[in-house]
Amino acid sequence: ERYKFTIYFDPFNEVPPQSELYALVNDPLELHNMANPENTAYYNPELIEVMREKLLLKMEETGCNFTPGSPYQEPVEELAAK
């Protein structure tokens, strides 16, 4: 695997989702988060968007869209719009 992309959701929806993106080949210890705008040497908004789209497609393909009763009830389409 070349990249690791993770989105963390606040269960109380008080904080926007946070992302982490690492290039595992060049950064196997996951020290340089390419999803952090403050990490100017590694920040890559284009790759973040590509990975986010892949994640949303996979969620749609597998039916993972945060089931009712969960704090994450937004349909995949609404997550994509953010």
More confident residue, 15 or 40: 40
Q: Quick one: tokens of 7?
A: 């989105």
pLDDT of residue 44: 95
Q: What is the pLDDT of residues 30-68, one digit of tens each?
A: 999 999 999 999 999 999 999 999 988 888 888 776 544
pTM given for the model: 0.71
> What are the residues whose beta carbons fall under 8 Å from the beta carbon of 66, sequence distance 6 or more?
72, 73, 74
Q: What is the pLDDT of residues 19-28, one digit of tens each?
A: 999 999 999 9
On the question of pLDDT at 29 being above 50, the answer is yes
